[in-house]
Copies of this chain bind each other. A is one copy, B any other.
Amino acid sequence: MTMPTPTPSTIALGVPDSGIVDIMNYGRRRGNVMPLWAGEGDLTTPAFIREAASKSLVDGETFYTWQRGLPELRQALADYTNRLTGQALDAERFCVTGSGMQAIQIALQLVLDPGDNIIIPSPAWPNIVAASGVRQANVIDSAMPFVDGRFVLDMQAIEDAARDPKTRAIFINSPSNPTGWVADLETLQAVHALAEQHNLWIIADEIYSRFVFGDAALPGTDPKRAPSFKDVAPLSPRIIYVNTMSKNWAMTGWRVGWIEAPVELAQRVENFIQYSTSGVAAFMQRAAIAALNEGDWFIGEQVARATANRDLLVETFAPLNRLQVSAPDGAFYLFFKVVGETDTRSLARRLVDEVGVGLAPGTAFGPGGEQFLRMCFARDPEHIADVANRIARWMSINP
């Protein structure tokens, strides 16, 4: 007699594969592909950051540590944030997480029960939507209309969704991955007012705030940064910020992030950390302290590179009739549509095979972005110039 085997949980059966990993796996098998599919640049973490971790290892910091993070790191997070935004936030608002992704997971657990609604404007980074699914929340995809080469927030659709009593939260990612959309102060103010009116939580993902181009930057900031919810609703009791060391300091592989929330939530954040990963290695945290306290010059260099690449790409692609380009106001992605191509998963594979360039298909980013491709341009400008030319040439011979 064959015994039956138990089935996995509903959630395990329902959780989607990543559409970004799908193309990466396809491309890796082929080899020799310029990898612009992931949200990662080509720079190794600066040596002074790596050395801080190695020194801590030599010093023997290999024991359990504070679940919320080392006090010195929580202070460094507060100092960095205050320096950037002109606030005077207390270190008690900050807890260290094992990646920005984990910060999102914990934020979702903090505010959502199964069956609750969360509004997520799309196109959106797919992991936010998938993690909401793991939480068994209903995701209300609020597709952003693409008007005159720009994505815009559909405030009416958001308000309609907010009226549903099951709606508990809205996720705002500005500057946006993948669209490059950057919310201006008026928009942030409107979203916060709407959240107050309907008593919603806001999960604010401002991880790309340093990567902002042209007029999208908040006037008068030095270094430049995007407008923040902190500018319109400082210390709002309904905002939870998620963040990461990954992008600013080229620490994608490290898996260190943070969550910033009203202090009343700190013990609950600690408990979710305790029962999921139980903290972040102390030697990783030493590296994060070095990055936050001494890494501004490196962010400046990365932003300069991204700005030059952004301008070059827009300049090269804008004249091409077959392309509709969303000129990004922030982040480090070019999100563009190839006229006449509706199956972007297959298009991304052709570009791997025929151009040797790895882009993420818009199908990975939900409603409103299916017909786009996403290119990460946090990379050596020579590579980006070469890729731009190769794609332009391919477009010209594949009309």
Interface residues of A (CB under 8 A from B): 3-6, 8-13, 15-18, 21, 38, 40, 44-45, 50, 53-54, 57-58, 60-65, 67, 98-99, 101-102, 105, 109-114, 116, 127, 130-131, 134, 136, 168-169, 196, 199-201, 237-238, 250-255, 265, 267-268, 271-272, 274-284
Contacts and interface: CB of A to CB of B under 8 A. Distances in A.
Count copies of this chain in the complex. Answer: 2
A18 B63 contact: no
Contacts of A44: 60, 62-63
B252 A64 contact: yes
A3 B238 CA distance: 10
A132 to B, nearest CB: 9
A248 to B, nearest CB: 14
B98 A98 contact: yes
A253 B64 contact: yes
A253 B57 CA distance: 11
A276 B271 CA distance: 16
A271 B111 contact: no
Contacts of A60: 44-45
A308 B200 CA distance: 58
Contacts of A17: 267, 271
A272 B67 contact: no
13 contacts: A6-B199, A9-B109, A12-B109, A12-B111, A50-B57, A53-B57, A62-B251, A101-B275, A102-B277, A127-B278, A131-B276, A134-B272, A255-B281
A370 to B, nearest CB: 21
